[in-house]
Amino acid sequence: MPGLAPPNAAPWYTLVIPTRDSAAWIGPLLDHYRAHGVTPTLFLDSRTRDGARAIAERAGAPIIDIAPFKFTEAIVAVTRDVVRTRWALFVNDDEIPSDRLFARLRGPEPPEAVQSVAIPRRWAWYEPGRPLCWARTEIWMDRAGRNGADHHWRLFRPDQVTFVAAMHSDGFVIDRWSRLPPDCFLVHFEWILRSRAQRAAKLRRYDRHRYGYGNFFANMYLPEDQPPGAIDFVPFETDAYDALARCYYAARAPDAPAERWRLGERYAQLRHAVAHRLGLSRFDREPKDRAGLTPRLDREIADPHTG
């Protein structure tokens, strides 16, 4: 790749991972990063009780203790106080950079005028005995203007962005940004690590915070419910992520019976409908679009190193 940094050059970014009760997968995850020459800093939720800290300490990962957090958007601002490099890369503990993204991170920094960088994310789907796949679809609304790509602004300058704690934001207002190419993506293991019932419960939790903030993303979090053909499951071009997929799948909780989660979702919908009818809700029944859920997007700046 043109413009790669010299061998053994100090990284220009710090990779940060928020985590809680991740003992079942944090070891293999840190091993994967180590194989790429990266040592993440963990933001460890103080409610963690399952031994994740001891595993991370043995792996040599720096640990920052974080007060209990409801949504990760609220802790992105901690990077301002602990990251000493110019850039921070904020990646969840159920995600991993693609091999091409690792290669790009060994290259030059984004342009000086850029405050943050949009990274596409591929949602991974795994069934034992079958190839690991990712979801390609046009039914998702993408803020970067490419439906189905699911861009997130995870690479940013902590000293330049304006932090916010809004749900479904990236933790800051998106001003002066660039984007990475499609092959520089994050692999997202949400569907593999969490059962359908757990993902539905997460959406209900979002809706309790503000109605519509869960329901709006049901077509993304619940692929099992989408019409046939709405999502195309495409095998990854490499087996580099297979071992982690199996690890996440092994840590997955058993799914609840369908009748139970359907009853829970129907109850949540009914409760919100009654509150809205009685004038007890401060919010509209549905957000009009994803742009209304997140801080604004400002000017996109081309990065000559990514084309």
Burial of 267 (0-12, 13-18, 19+ CB in 10 A): exposed
Query: Is position 30 within any domain?
Result: yes
Domain count, the chain: 1
Query: Is position 169 within any domain?
Result: yes
pLDDT in tens, 190-212: 999 999 999 999 998 888 887 77
pLDDT in tens, 58-95: 999 999 999 887 788 989 999 999 999 999 999 999 99
Please identify which residue in the block is written with the tokens 């401060």.
282
Query: Is position 59 within any domain?
Result: yes
Range of the domain at 102: 13-117+150-183
pLDDT in tens, 245-271: 999 999 998 876 655 555 555 655 565
What CATH number did the domain enclosing 48 receive? 3.40.50
Which is it for strands 13-19 and 87-90: parallel, antiparallel or unpaired?
parallel
pLDDT in tens, 13-28: 999 999 999 999 999 9
Tokens of 14: 């710090």
Is 4 a residue whose pLDDT tops 80?
A: no
Backbone angles phi, psi at 306, to 5 degrees: -115, -10
Query: Is position 268 within any domain?
Result: no
Dist. CA 202–CA 196, nearest whole Å: 10
Are the beta carbons of 39 and 32 closer than 8 angstroms?
A: no
Are the beta carbons of 186 and 152 closer than 8 angstroms?
A: yes
Dist. CA 249–CA 243, nearest whole Å: 10
CB contact set of 157 (below 8 Å; sequence gap of 6+) = 86, 87, 88, 114, 115, 116
Give the residue among 191, 204, 180, 98 at the shortest CA–CA distance from 137. Answer: 191
Is 285 a residue whose pLDDT tops 80?
A: no
Angle between helices 258-277 and 196-209 (to 10 degrees): 10
What's the CA dihedral at 268, 48, 63, 85 to 10 degrees?
0
**Where is pLDDT greater, at 304 or 133?**
133
Query: Is position 32 within any domain?
Result: yes
What DSSP string runs through 227-295?
PTTSEEEEE-S-STTHHHHHHHHHTPPPPPPHHHHHHHHHHHHHHHHHHHHTT--SS-SS-S-GGGGSP
**Where is pLDDT greater, at 271 or 42?**
42
Are the beta carbons of 89 and 105 closer than 8 angstroms?
A: yes
Query: Is position 50 within any domain?
Result: yes
Query: Is position 21 within any domain?
Result: yes
pLDDT in tens, 108-131: 999 999 999 999 999 999 999 999
pTM value surpassing 0.85: yes
Which pLDDT does position 276 carry in this prediction? 53
Which pLDDT does position 38 carry in this prediction? 96
Q: Which residues of 242-262 are buried (b: 16+ CB within 10 A; e: fewer)?
A: eebbebbbebbeebbeeeebe
Dist. CA 140–CA 124, nearest whole Å: 15
Query: Is position 204 within any domain?
Result: no
Dist. CA 303–CA 307, nearest whole Å: 6
Dist. CA 251–CA 23, nearest whole Å: 9
